[in-house]
Structure 1
Amino acid sequence: MTKPNLKILLCAPRGFCAGVDRAIQIVDLALERFGAPVYVRHEIVHNKYVVEELRRKGAVFVEELDEIPDTRQPVIFSAHGVAKAVPAAATARNFFQLDATCPLVTKVHREAEVHHRKGRHVILIGHAGHPEVIGTMGQLPEGAVTLIETIDDVARLDFAPGTPLAYTTQTTLSVDDTRAIVEALSQRFPDVAPPHKEDICYATTNRQAAVREVAPKVDAMLVVGAPNSSNSQRLREVAAREGCARAVLIQRASDIDWSELQGLSTLGITAGASAPEVLVEEVIDAFAERYTVTVESVRTADETVAFNLPRELRDDPAA
């Protein structure tokens, strides 16, 4: 039986960003250098496949430090960053700490601290309950940060006249949504201080740009990523906003609902920043079983960013 033809437009860049790659390397190298177990507070990145692979190697994932027994083994903080109280509590228990926080998240933390030292109240644009948001708010004293999620939230802000203000953002937001919120914020508070440099990270921006290019050209768009991954959810939203009627987030090939993907001639595929390429290949293979597939890469940016590992894991700590 002849299989129907399917053209797959593969978004590039996609998948792992430099911060995710660094975080996973930190866990892998810690296991290699210090042996199992290695304790990781929260999922190192938001991807079940990655977490399960590291768990198989000997990583133990916990939500809070009190789940960790007294140990000399490494305790690793996830790529999303943590509130200041977390490393303080780890120090109090004499844990050997390795910080896998993405350097671009750390940049947001430092900017928030600078604004606070200058007497500004910080407005954080982000998603309530996300680990990155919890970590950023936890850099400053309680009440020093106000979280907003939508344009409607801007209208509800109530500061005394003359209050010095600044804003910062979660690194994995929708570029378009955030731009609209910032415009509304700047209109209401013309003197609000912006970030020194854009807070939404290069990887989020690049992946959304690739989806924006591909989405109008395909019958459906699959985003490979986890449901609790902010950047993956934003990719799905961008695809839908750009006119792709079937934009679906899946964790891997086994999640594909084939009944929703009937009659395809073109398909877009991308992956969130914490999704490994092996899962993208798995999805392509699943379609190749049902279609005669041709794959075309659509590249909108080249990425050359790389981040240093913690000193404790470098071959030459002095480097």
Structure 2
Amino acid sequence: MNKPTDFAAFCTLSAALGSDPLRVQGPGGNTSIKDGAVMWIKASGTELADAEQTDIFVAVDRDAARAQAFGDGDGSCKDTVLDPANTLRPSIETTFHAALDWAVVAHTHSIASLTHSITPQGRAVAAEKLSQMPAVFVPYAKPGLPLTREILARITPETQVIVLENHGLICCGATVQDVTALMENVETLLAMPVKTRPAALPTTSAPDGFHWAAESWIATDPIATAYATGGSYYPDHVVFLGPALPRADHDGKPPAVVFAGVGVALRDDATPSQRAMLKCLSDVLSRLPNDWTATPIGNDAEAELLNWDAEKYRQALAARS
């Protein structure tokens, strides 16, 4: 199957996004490129960082995937894969990629967008910062069809920037170069300074089976501790770290535990995805202004993600890396 002429540039952009933890963490985020009736999209559980070394993209029937976005199917798009020998699943967010009428679409969980989108104050500030851009803001919805429907209810044919509440950023364009430039512009506009934070690790020994994480500053900052233990603020935190970080170890074997006033203990066998998501939490909280109030996605939204087969599949793939 022939690929678009700018597929190599598309892979370069995808790999660059996936290699920057301020844009994408672990297997998060997804990119797509369309060529007529065919759309190539990142496979679920793969990492954008590998886009130039590994075949992480799945070719799907764009019209069939788009039909699922409008209710003709379950939204998984598994039956839209064009190569029956390909055992990878298309991204759980294939439907919105197919429904967006732009050749190139890049979805990231950028720290800049998360810092704004998890707070009502930040969303208002982001709307002002992006007021001169073709941007829309979409309320939180479960990834997949629910999110696609919220997006479709708000976009116009001109929309190229989509800020997802408690989730991330989507940028669209006619070419890879257009999307690259657009995303750089948005990131510049939304960039937030890092607040001063302690750098030293605890001097006491970590509990058995754990070590002190580089993100231990969270436990010594009362505001950050309250946020980290008070809820989860975007889907991938729930998928890979579980709900709010606990203040003590328990039989569920949480990958990270906050010991208030001391440090954050990370389990020695934590996966790369779990480590990436702890860094993501640190990167967001270290940029969150003290007068902004972060709003968790809530228990019901967490339960939806934890009991979802598509996310269990992604967890299993990530655990193998």
User: Which entry has the higher C-alpha Rg, 1 or 2?
Assistant: 1
Q: TM tier, shorter chain?
A: under 0.3
Whose strand fraction is larger, Structure 1's or Structure 2's?
Answer: 1
Q: TM-score, normalised by structure 2?
A: 0.26
- TM-score normalised by length of structure 1: 0.26
